[in-house]
Amino acid sequence: MAVPRLLLHLVYPTSSSLLLANCKPSPLPVLNIGCRRISTAAAQRAPPSEAAVDDFWRWLCERGAVAASSAATVKPGFVPEGLGLVAQRDLPRNEVVVEVPKRLWIDSDTAVASEIGRLCAGLKPWVSIALFLLRERALGTASPWHPYLDILPPTTNSTIFWSEEELSEIEGTQLLNTTMGAKESRAFSRGRGENLALVPLADLINHSSSITQVDSCWEIKGKGIFSRELIFSLRTPVYVKSGEQVHIHYDIAKSNADLALDYGFVEQRPDRDAYTFTLEISESDPFYGDKLDIAESNGLDETAYFDIALGCPLPPLMLPYLRLVALGGTDAFLLESVFRNTIWGHLELPVSRANEEAICRVVRQACKSALSAYHTTVEEDEKLMEGDNLDERLRIAVCIRAGEKKVLQQIDDAFRERESELDVLEYYQERRLKDLGLVGEQGEIIFWESK
């Protein structure tokens, strides 16, 4: 598996969460030069030489980023992914393995303090960092950063770098739309953060799917009680034997599409397969204002995004939002102000047969339309995946498109089953009559007559 070097999204002064990002919403093409090995022939280049890695290590030692070589906890080493951090002795869980002072981070402060600092004023952090990297790369050995830059590969298997022919293999996928949007705008929403940074040595840490701990394995802290200097501290989340590689888990919540875009790899795990349903309250809806107010009162907006993973239930807010969007006709009385504080509770249950039928029809039509855009079937994709000679990028493409289709079929199955239950579901009017004691044990409506 080709695993990328990390681009860290730091939170000052300390943080319990790590955003290891490069795209959806994630950082930028230029910063992707700080990524790990690539296995596709079109983008492949020779790994850095041992001499280059040795120069990088000396550079770190001279600048106080690591202890003397004989006492080092980890050292850069050649691993299946390219370069990685190799334990120099047995490491217990939560052992600190890397501490990098802020003066060795490459962030927007670094760019502003450089000779091109005046050109970086007012620029987004990722833009200023990109400009700084381009200039330092152009300086070659004259750059004080060249030992670090010399070990960076130029590209990754991220879909940002795929050719048109390679991108055709993800035709119909949401990943293609996200990738093309990023390529055309040359900007990524995750790149809007104020605290992007490259952290030499720490960014050699590779990903492993066997790491399941969700606790953060890094923090930013002061170097000492009386020091204002910040350091980036990295711990190993599991026990590691001497000579073995130290790993972390980049992000347990990411889908395969996120992993492919951000890092250029996928995992063969069903819960990594996901599809994002986008729902919207139309501005042409006669009840637009009321519906938007209700949505916002419940933490949603005019447009809502629901990530659905393979083998997992629908997000809890999806059905209420669907019912809200479809609400109309004789059900519109629920939008009146008298129901404003209770309507979401009503939307969590079927409102009416017409409303429930409408959401089933709309969702199933959306699934059918999305599935028709793929140029292969799930069965064809699974047959391809059985082969051992797939190009890495084709393997990523097949995994992504097969996963999306499986999730779409799962969603369609769920709403097809719901359609079959429309006649037996209990709707708002029935529930209300029961609350008023106007429905008998057999479900018949009781009419009271005065004597």
Tell me the pLDDT of the chain (451 aa) as tens digits. 333 444 443 433 322 222 222 222 222 222 222 233 323 333 344 678 999 999 999 999 998 887 655 578 999 999 988 899 999 999 999 999 999 999 999 999 999 999 999 999 888 888 899 999 999 999 999 999 999 999 988 788 999 999 999 999 999 999 999 999 887 774 444 444 567 889 999 999 999 988 887 777 888 888 766 667 888 999 999 999 999 999 998 888 899 999 999 899 999 888 899 999 999 999 999 999 999 999 999 999 999 999 999 999 999 999 999 999 999 999 999 999 999 999 999 999 999 999 999 999 999 999 999 999 999 999 999 999 988 888 999 999 999 999 999 999 999 999 999 999 999 999 999 988 887 776 666 556 555 555 5
pLDDT confidence of residue 415:
98
Instruction: Write down the domain spans for the chain.
Output: 49-105+153-258, 270-433
CA distance 45 to 155: 9
In this structure, are residues 326 and 355 in contact, taking their beta carbons and an 8 Å threshold? yes
Residue 92 is predicted with a pLDDT of 95
pTM (two decimals):
0.79
Q: Could you give the maximum distance between any two Cα atoms of the chain, in Å?
A: 103
Q: Was 186 annotated as part of a binding site? A: yes
Q: Could you report how far apart the first and last alpha carbons of the chain are, in Å?
A: 82
CA distances to 53, 251, 327 from 352, rounded to whole Å, are: 67, 41, 9
235 is in an annotated binding site: no
- Rounded to whole angstroms, the Cα distance separating 29 from 184 reads 12
Distance of alpha carbon 166 from alpha carbon 175, whole angstroms: 13
Q: What is the pLDDT of residue 168?
A: 96
- CA-CA-CA-CA torsion sign (252, 255, 258, 262): positive
Closest by Cα among 114, 121, 149, 173 to 30: 149
Which two tokens mark 69?
A: 């070589």
- State yes or no: 81 annotated in a binding site: yes
Strand partners, 106: 198
- Per the annotation, does 126 bind a ligand? no
- For residue 339, what is the DSSP state? G
How high is the pLDDT of residue 437? Answer: 74
Partner residues linked to 19 by β-bridges = 9
What angle do the packed helices 288-297 and 318-326 form, to 10 degrees?
160
* 174 alpha-carbon distance from chain centroid: 13
CA dist 192 to 30, 54, 179, 385, Å?
14, 35, 17, 36
> Do the annotations mark residue 263 as ligand-binding?
yes
CATH architecture of the domain 270-433 equals Alpha-Beta Complex (3.90)
**Annotated catalytic, 250?**
yes
Q: At what angle do helices 392-420 and 353-371 cross, to 10 degrees?
A: 160
* CATH fit for domain 49-105+153-258, picks 3.40.50.720, 3.90.1410.10, 3.10.450.40, 3.10.180.10: 3.90.1410.10
Measured between alpha carbons, how far is 371 from 405 in angstroms, rounded to an integer?
6
Nearest Cα neighbor of 200 from 108, 85, 105, 114 is: 105
Catalytically annotated residue among 148, 250, 275, 374: 250
Q: What share of the chain is helix, strand, coil (3-state, %, to 5)?
A: 45, 15, 45
Question: Is 250 marked as binding a ligand?
Answer: yes
Tokens 């969603």, residue located: 411
